[in-house]
Amino acid sequence: MNILFYGTASYDKDSFQKELADYPEIKIDFTESNLTPMTAALARGYDAVCAFVNADCGAMTLEILAGFGVKLLLMRCAGFDAVNVAVAQDLGMRVTRVPAYSPEAIAEHAMGLALAANRRICKGYIRVRENDFSLDGLVGNTLHGKTAGIIGTGRIGAALCRICKGFGMKVLGSDLYPNQALLDEGVVDEYVDYDELYRRSDLISLHAFLNEESRHMINDDSIAKMKNGVILVNTGRGGLVDTQALIRGILSGKIGAAGIDVYDEEGPNVYQNRAGQVIDSVTARLCSFPNVVMTSHQAFFTHEALAEIARVTLDNAQAFAHGTDFVDRSVVC
């Protein structure tokens, strides 16, 4: 089984090479080039390709891959927004993903963003480095006794609910499919609709799926329903938030702090070093606010998560080669 890994960084190589000893039938080649229609031809002679969340797996890319006999696309991420699933099905191409590599890692990062933005930790750190020990402009809010609203209570959302409970917060959940077990365990105090969650929450964290219904669910109207000074965190999908509405909410004071790991316009920037370029970017605007903390799609990024991504991806490759079942819930098509 020969696999070409696209868009690989040093940590991808390290994590997969550590696991390869348990998969003697699999041979991997790595390329730093991302998967696009322009680079799909590199897959000539390979049985499968592996790509990440920032790849372009649209119709043209998939047709080129299929033309070279590639039958398997392994997405080493949970999301498959970048894949034209309908075209993959028509081409007879199997697509897999890694459905839940580290819910706790993402939930922990979400809380880290909330704390850093709310308590102005980054700004305080910069001041101390410059021997400025003043506290003006650094005041935040105590989370204990406040209400957390978690939109999407799957594995990641559930993990954050438990963290919020540990902080002594009341937890509201909002989900199309409420999890009764979380209510029974006392992890979620109550399930409510979106409007009720917006109205009552002091901290709102997004963990919903991105689809046509949820795109820009955080917009001018929904922000207007929130408490003044609410803390908003997005480690889910960038498209859940209308960025310009977010900026307006921050400027008005409606949003008191924001922690952002993903945003709608991030496409060209994901995992790219653009430090030497002059770019017109919403990140510059957002990062100019003292109550905003941004990271670069890194909520998942722990040693444990990378190891799990490698194992599930290689298990799926081996299953495809042997004609056995893929890892549970990893099959896209």
Q: Report the catalytic residues.
A: 237, 266, 297
Spatial separation of the C-alpha atoms in residues 175 and 157, rounded to whole Å: 10
Spatial separation of the C-alpha atoms in residues 241 and 214, rounded to whole Å: 9
Task: Kindly write down the DSSP assignment for every residue of 260-312, as one continuous string.
Answer: ES--TT-GGGTT---TTS----HHHHHHTSTTEEE-SS-TT-SHHHHHHHHHH
Helix, coil or strand: residue 162:
helix
Find, among 46, 56, 50, 65, the residue nearest to 13 by Cα: 50
Contact call for residues 56 and 39 (beta carbons, < 8 A): no
Terminal Cα distance for the chain, rounded: 20
Cβ contacts of 147 within 8 Å, gap of 6 or more: 169, 170, 171, 172, 200, 201, 202, 203
Dihedral, CA of residue 275, residue 296, residue 80 and residue 56, to nearest 10: 0
Taking the alpha carbons of 234, 95, 88, 4 in that order, is the dihedral positive or negative?
positive
**Block residue for tokens 């939930």:** 107
Find, among 104, 92, 17, the residue nearest to 307 by Cα: 17
**In 3-state terms, the chain is what percent helix, strand and coil (to 5)?**
40, 15, 45
Contact call for residues 158 and 183 (beta carbons, < 8 A): no
